[in-house]
Amino acid sequence: MKKPTVTLTDNRSGKSYEYAILEGTRGPSAVDIRTFFADTGMFTYDPGYTSTASCTSKITFIDGAKGELRYRGIPIETLATQHSYLETCYLLLNEHLPNSRELQNFDLEIRHRAYIHESLRLLFDAFPNNAHPMATLSAAVTALASFHKEHLTLDDAADYHTMASRLLAKIPTIAAFAYRHSLGIPLIQPDIDLSFTKNFLTMMRAYPGGKMHLGSNGHEEIREVEVRALDTIFTLHADHEQNASTTVVRGVASTGAHPYVAIAAGISALWGRAHGGANESVIAQLEMIGSADRVETFIARAKDPDDDFRLMGFGHRVYKNFDPRAKILKRLQDELKEELGLNSRLMEIAGRIEEIALSDEYFVSRNLYPNIDFYTGIILTALQIPKNMFTPIFVIGRTVGWITQWIEFKKDPTSKIARPRQLYTGA
């Protein structure tokens, strides 16, 4: 049987060109245009890559029309409600969920690797006290590359594993250090007795030298409900196929640079408001709106083509029905409202925005729905996490996705240096 193809005709010359249609296991097919330039002398033009599959991948599947997200074939709803973040990391890296012994070993390894080199700790002193933790985090992850130079020549599975677990373990420590430095308060070292997520919350909130914590809702200790909420947030952020920061990570990987600087570049890309930085902007925007009766004014601004104001936490390049991560978080928010003492004023403003936007023709016709970032801020605020740490928390969750994508890129024999062309319109 003849393989499926598409035929493109150049209407100037009448010449036709035939290209194979590639089928994945799920989702849209792709036209293989790798020889297009050689065949026709023309480029394809696709700013923002809205119609381009830049690679094949076995990691994450998204159906934007159905609002479906799966890691290694497992629905996000199952992972978020029945598995921990570390189990999800193991799944992404190893293509299967861990059994109890595998999980125990992985967990122990991550606990062991959470410390950072004393010399790297000194780097934090070079930053102004009011530095944004994302700037410090990105710089410190780049600096970490100088402590693990051997990762430049990774070439087998054991090396990949060590690189992955080092980054997974150390990034929360670096993020917490960046935060504490931004406040000018003493750094708290990781505690090997604590689980991944509890350890991070402790490094954020503990008083130096003691077990007392900056209380949440009148509680001095970190409560299991808080750990569960943050762990779920990490899981929901763990991977999202070829988003902007992952594309940057693969791009840096394609040049043969150290894997940590590829991750640092991903951190920088994530910082922007259109991507991971949206979570910080959502809360800033809710605070700016101030009360539910002012929502309509801001909705009008978001719809005004002459105003560049956008509703933060709304819209998505891929999800055109709903963002399944946002659905899970909204449910979690409702479940934990009392236990976490969520800010009812912010929730009321957010609820009003949602109510108006979901029925307004402007938002409905453009398929603009609340995304994951719309809901994270309210939960993170209740966990005593300040706004400037929201995007670093996205980084902690996404690190495993970036590493897994980096490894997949390296193992793929069809990988090439990322080098798009352009349609020159200059002098």
Known catalytic residues? 316, 373
Within 8 A by CB and 6+ apart from 155, the residues are none
Look up residue 237 and give its two tokens: 């952020």
Residue from 84, 216, 242, 371 touching ligand CMC (CB under 6 A): that is 371
Report the nearest approach of ligand CMC to the CB of residue 323 (Å): 7
Segment 220 to 259, residues that bind ligand CMC, using CB under 6 A: 240, 243
Distance CA 210, CA 232 (A): 27
- CA distances 161 to 110, 165, 245, 407, Å, are 11, 6, 22, 10
Report the nearest approach of ligand CMC to the CB of residue 64 (Å): 10
Closest CA relative to residue 269, chosen from 402, 73, 164? 402
Distance CA 255, CA 365 (A): 41
- Per-residue contact track with ligand CMC, 304 to 323, x per CB under 6 A? ------xxxxxxxx------
Q: Is 397 in the site for ligand CMC (CB under 6 A)?
A: no
Distance CA 310, CA 292 (A): 17
Q: Is 396 in the site for ligand CMC (CB under 6 A)?
A: no
Residue from 373, 383, 384, 393 touching ligand CMC (CB under 6 A): that is 373
Distance CA 281, CA 394 (A): 13
Q: Is 176 helix (H, G, I), strand (E, B) or coil?
A: helix
For residue 110, count other CB atoms closer than 10 A to its CB. 23
Give the end-to-end CA distance of the chain in Å, rounded to a whole number.
50
Residue from 98, 190, 276, 401 touching ligand CMC (CB under 6 A): that is 276
Segment 26 to 85, residues that bind ligand CMC, using CB under 6 A: 48
User: 375-391 burial, b for 16+ CB within 10 Å, e for fewer?
Assistant: bbbbbbbbbbbebbbbb
Please say which residue, 201 or 302, places its beta carbon nearer to ligand CMC: 302
Please say which residue, 87 or 373, places its beta carbon nearer to ligand CMC: 373
- CA distances 114 to 120, 150, 373, Å, are 13, 19, 27
74-75 sheet: strands from edge to edge: 60-63, 68-71, 74-75
Q: Is 366 in the site for ligand CMC (CB under 6 A)?
A: yes
Report the nearest approach of ligand CMC to the CB of residue 396 (Å): 15
Report the nearest approach of ligand CMC to the CB of residue 350 (Å): 13
Look up residue 104 and give its two tokens: 């125990």
Q: Is 364 in the site for ligand CMC (CB under 6 A)?
A: no
Q: Is 274 in the site for ligand CMC (CB under 6 A)?
A: yes
Identify which range of 197-205, 222-230, 268-276, 338-346 contacts ligand CMC by CB under 6 A. 268-276
* Residue nearest ligand CMC, CB atom distance: 315
Identify which range of 94-102, 289-297, 363-371, 415-423 contacts ligand CMC by CB under 6 A. 363-371
The residues that touch ligand CMC, with contacts defined as CB under 6 A, are 48, 240, 243, 274-276, 278, 302, 310-317, 366, 368, 371-373
